[in-house]
Amino acid sequence: MLRSASCGMGYLALAQLMAQTTDALQTAPTLMQRPPRQRARASRVIFLNMAGGPAQVDTFEYKPQVGKKPHAGSVASFKQRGRSGLWVSDLLPNLARHADKLCVIHSMTADTSIHAQSMLQLHTGDRLRPCPSFGSWVAYGLGTENQNLPGFISFNTAKPSEYASMQLPSVFAGTPIGINGEDMSKATLAHVSGNPLPAHLRRRQLDLLQVINREHLRAGRQDDPQLEGVIQTLELGFRMQSVAPQLLDLRDESAATLERYRVGVNHSVGTCKGSDFGRQCLLARRFCEAGVRFIEITHGSWDQHTDHRRDLTANCATTDAPIAALLDDLEQRGLLEETLVIWGGEFGRPGLVPGQDKDQTGHQHRAFTFWLAGGGVKRGHVHGRTEVDGSTVVESPVHFRDLHATVLHALGLDHDNLAVVSGGRRIRLTGLQGGRVVSELFA
């Protein structure tokens, strides 16, 4: 509008302002390691995605039944754990050992109780439009610590929208390993498996392809970050062939380690389908040690509308020991303080009334629970408060946008300026409304 109205200087000033407020836009489409723009408490993220909506009042938020007519609340037994006295369900005995490491947020909120939309909002900040995923933004801002591996790995992810780079160059997209609950012992990287050619011939083959790609880039597409991203992605795929197979091969792990992580052990009951969650957690530790910035692990069976007690018990039994083993190893190896671990799903569930015969739950997006560990967060800490039945937040709400802003802040990234302009629209993880850094979570 300014340009068409002959306000050329005004248009140039506006363009300069846009450039200043989108620092990351100037970032080349490469995974080269980049320093954070501000003080960083963490170097990487492991996101434990409990897809389907875990019941917070039966896992980490104790809501006792009181009065002559008990309200909906916890049906699982709870105890206070550790020095902090954090309430943790008896269904999670191994995680209960780590109570003093957890920073529990009881006041999470989302915009909708529709699975697909809320899961998209959790991953991208937008529940309706396709946008870059959380891990892609982290890779975009920081690159990777290992040039032979991607910045973002996604285990057992159900939908490409959860790891896609969308408006960012493709080199920042997540690399999926295992899809839709398939047997993780058979999961491989598409880049790594099945090429019968020796390495030197694969290199020559790729070199020829890259010559063609770069000629295409020079022929009028010099400013095309997507094409440059494809070129970088092909190079990364070749380099991964020397590293990724060894990381995926667990034969060098001891029998005791495999047992601690419950590798190969699943509790497939009712709607709870086994996905070798223990293997995901152990692989996450290995990729974390190797320098990957953002690792997502998915357990996708928490959508419990019937047989709630049975399926909740199975889900907790599947995930409890592997997550506890992951936290054990991260701390023992000196990685926990520089790794931010996040646990949660797209929303929560209302509690049950013990006196009723019903054993089914619905969706609850106005109040649910996440927890964080490592990455400089407070240990044994509870943030936020809900109503007596856990139905709504009454103190210190934390929206997904706030969670995103807080995690980026922990990594030394400013959510306001980590942005890209696409189709005339400024896109960032925290959306048009922005988010609030929840500084109260940090020690």
Instruction: Report the pLDDT value the prediction gives residue 10, as an integer from 0 to 100.
Output: 43
Confidence category of residue 392, pLDDT binned at 50, 70, 90: very high
Cβ 425 vs Cβ 129: under 8 Å: no
User: In Å, how far are 178, 234, 309, 314, 440 from 410, measured between CA atoms?
Assistant: 29, 31, 36, 33, 12
What percentage of residues in the chain have a pLDDT greater than 70?
76
Cβ 102 vs Cβ 86: under 8 Å: yes
Strands (E), 302-439: 339-344, 368-373, 381-383, 385-386, 393-395, 398-399, 419-422, 425-428
Q: Is 207 helix (H, G, I), strand (E, B) or coil?
A: helix
How far apart are alpha carbons 130 and 221 in whole angstroms?
Answer: 24
How far apart are alpha carbons 286 and 246 in whole angstroms?
Answer: 10
Residue in the block written with tokens 């210190």: 396
Q: Is 56 helix (H, G, I), strand (E, B) or coil?
A: helix
Nearest C-alpha neighbor of 145 from the set 229, 59, 43, 65: 43
- Model confidence over 222-250: pLDDT tens digits? 666 666 656 566 666 656 676 778 888 89
Instruction: Report the pLDDT value the prediction gives residue 37, as an integer from 0 to 100.
Output: 85
How far apart are alpha carbons 298 and 162 in whole angstroms?
Answer: 11
Strands (E), 260-315: 294-299
Instruction: Report the pLDDT value the prediction gives residue 243, as an integer from 0 to 100.
Output: 76
Q: Which range among 7-16, 45-54, 273-282 shows the weakest confidence by mean pLDDT?
A: 7-16
Q: Is 269 helix (H, G, I), strand (E, B) or coil?
A: strand
Confidence category of residue 147, pLDDT binned at 50, 70, 90: confident
The DSSP secondary structure of 375-410, one letter per residue, reads TTBPTTEEE-EE-TTSSSEEE--EEHHHHHHHHHHH
Phi, psi of 410 (to 5 degrees): -60, -30
Q: Is 280 helix (H, G, I), strand (E, B) or coil?
A: helix
Checking if the pLDDT of 7 tops 90, the result is no
How far apart are alpha carbons 51 and 17 in whole angstroms?
Answer: 40
Cβ 410 vs Cβ 41: under 8 Å: yes
Checking if the pLDDT of 158 tops 90, the result is no
How far apart are alpha carbons 176 and 153 in whole angstroms?
Answer: 6
Nearest C-alpha neighbor of 298 from the set 418, 177, 210: 177
Nearest C-alpha neighbor of 226 from the set 171, 148, 164: 171
Distance of CA 83 to the CA centre of its chain: 29
Class of domain 31-192+254-441: alpha beta
How far apart are alpha carbons 38 and 44 in whole angstroms?
Answer: 15
Nearest C-alpha neighbor of 158 from the set 28, 343, 296, 362: 296
Instruction: Report the pLDDT value the prediction gives residue 153, as an integer from 0 to 100.
Output: 92
How far apart are alpha carbons 420 and 172 in whole angstroms?
Answer: 13
Cβ 337 vs Cβ 375: under 8 Å: yes
Residue in the block written with tokens 């399926």: 311
* Average pLDDT in the chain: 84
Instruction: Report the pLDDT value the prediction gives residue 202, as an integer from 0 to 100.
Output: 66
Residue in the block written with tokens 């498996």: 193
- Model confidence over 268-304: pLDDT tens digits? 555 555 568 999 999 999 999 999 999 999 998 899 8
Cβ 340 vs Cβ 407: under 8 Å: yes
Beta bridge partners of 102: 373
Nearest C-alpha neighbor of 302 from the set 46, 119, 99: 119
Burial letters for 412-422: b for 16+ Cβ neighbours within 10 Å, e otherwise?
bbbbeebbbee
Residue type, 64: P
Domain ranges of the chain: 31-192+254-441, 196-240
